[in-house]
Structure 1
């Protein structure tokens, strides 16, 4: 959700000042393999623009993406490139022959082929930016935040890297020889950059750069399982999930409905598409979806699991109000 890595490279040597010589030398990069992820990438791109990033925006997309979504992404991103390891015939294709189980992982590794840029920050398409984060480009490869479930590993949803064909080749070789301990890109990258936990603390990003309020990794379930009413600013959907991050979820949907949906409507034209938004106020009966009533025992379990609703029921103001009432 919200929600919100390095080895020595010899192929190209660039000074730290490379990223300050012009915004074209550095870029935020994301990956969207289909239309659902494309919508998340659109929100990510808009949130970066809204917080006045000075860097370029790059989107790697899959061949399954529709033309309207590709067109919308091109209005937000400076550079939209299609990647397809299954049919590309390049080194990734050869690696796929040995490890077809890592298809999506190989696609993400294409980030290292963006050698037009000296330094990049990768961000999963489900990420929402809450403030300007251009200072991340002062970090070195591979800088990332600890994973909430495995603190000795980094979370691969946000990381700083330097594009390099040499590193790309070594990553593909690592994939074919060692695979992934979790079946995805996070396992591959943590295996390859295996000294991240102990080698250099400066490459440990503060958790606020990749914050997941309930330790889940994607906005996509939120998109699939919720419906949003832009007029009433109400969300209906899975009550359990909505209770854990209502503020961030609402911010994502507000940006999506106000900036992305109108763009998609223009791109789709007369073609029907499901935006996930309603305009007739039909969600009014679900106004409590974001504020479900939990028993004291359920709230206690949430606290013990580290899932207190800090933005809602368990906010500081509410706790203080309760204490003030008790002390009186």
Structure 2
């Protein structure tokens, strides 16, 4: 919903299509129908198409097969796929000038592209070949899903990189600038570059296990709370605030209109509730071993105890 609203706010001239699973509630689907030109139900587990047959051979690739359905949108000549955990902060219609398969490098392994944003041309022939490739080769990141959850790997990225294996070497014009898929992980691994180019960002990608909607938000104090200080920091606080500001101001009222008298948890809390719960929700201090483990997983508290300023102070004290 936030992605669709952000695309509309930045005046896209293109049709918007959203792929949803059967678990999405009727009120939510009603809101999506107002934001998108087309809402398509995708469920490979119940379909009788080629994906269902492939699923029986490789049930471990369920998420992958669901995502590959975007290639069946053959009533469009070209599309830009975007994960639901992305936020548009500038018009990106120029992406339609790119060819298949255009994508930005992944921050974890730049010779691979990140499958959160990519340009493609719908084709049933490509769809069938992708399914065949998936069943024969699987996904190199599928088996590592438990170890790499913080990098948001779900199997589809390995399949797509294997299928479009020439992406890294064949045509540099298919390498999207990183501003079209700016991740929080990259911000903190190369902060100087973010300071230099971050203002030009067009798409923010909230990589990681903890998503913006995993938190809560106080519209009065404009504070994001919830999943722990480290997780707020890892999403970059300013972008996380942008996400919640848009959601609370423009999406929640639409949801309230469709839920009517039915209660629903919007994630927005009143100021007094935030103040009452702040002490209880404060994360406990981490041990040295726990901090080390978080560092190794790319989850350092960059906005708090592990900030650049604190690290510099520690180094200065050590050198003295």
TM-score normalised by the shorter chain: which range applies?
Answer: 0.7 to 0.9
**Matches of 1:171 and 1:150, distance apart in 2:** 22
- 1:21-32 alignment to 2 at 5 Å? none
- 1:1-328 alignment to 2 at 5 Å? 42-183=1-142, 184-214=155-185, 218=207, 221-223=210-212, 225-237=214-226, 238-244=228-234, 245-284=236-275, 286=278
Query: Any conservation in 1 of the 2:104–2:177 contact (CA below 8 Å)?
Result: yes
**Matches of 1:126 and 1:310, distance apart in 2:** 21
Residue 72 to residue 310, structure 1, CA distance change in 2 (3 Å): same
**Matches of 1:69 and 1:220, distance apart in 2:** 22
Residue 84 to residue 133, structure 1, CA distance change in 2 (3 Å): same
**Matches of 1:308 and 1:132, distance apart in 2:** 32
Shift of 1:266: 1.2
Listed as ranges, the gaps of 5+ residues in structure 2 are 143-154, 187-204, 287-293, 309-320
SS at match of 2:211: helix
Aligned to 1:37: none
Give the CA RMSD over aligned residues.
3.2
Give the count of matched residue pairs.
Answer: 272
SS at match of 1:274: coil
Shift of 1:283: 2.2
Query: Any conservation in 1 of the 2:221–2:271 contact (CA below 8 Å)?
Result: no
Shift of 1:235: 1.3
**Matches of 2:214 and 2:135, distance apart in 1:** 36
Shift of 1:313: 11
Query: Any conservation in 2 of the 1:106–1:172 contact (CA below 8 Å)?
Result: yes
**Matches of 1:48 and 1:315, distance apart in 2:** 33
Q: TM-score, normalised by structure 1?
A: 0.74
Moved more, 305-314 or 192-201: 305-314
Query: Any conservation in 2 of the 1:234–1:284 contact (CA below 8 Å)?
Result: no
**Matches of 2:172 and 2:237, distance apart in 1:** 33
Deviation by residue 1:92-133 (Cα, 9 ceiling, x = unmatched)? 111111011111110100000001100000000010001001
**Matches of 1:307 and 1:274, distance apart in 2:** 27
Listed as ranges, the gaps of 5+ residues in structure 1 are 1-41, 295-301, 317-328
**Matches of 2:299 and 2:173, distance apart in 1:** 28
Shift of 1:221: 2.0
**Matches of 2:7 and 2:18, distance apart in 1:** 13
Shift of 1:191: 0.4
**Matches of 2:30 and 2:112, distance apart in 1:** 36
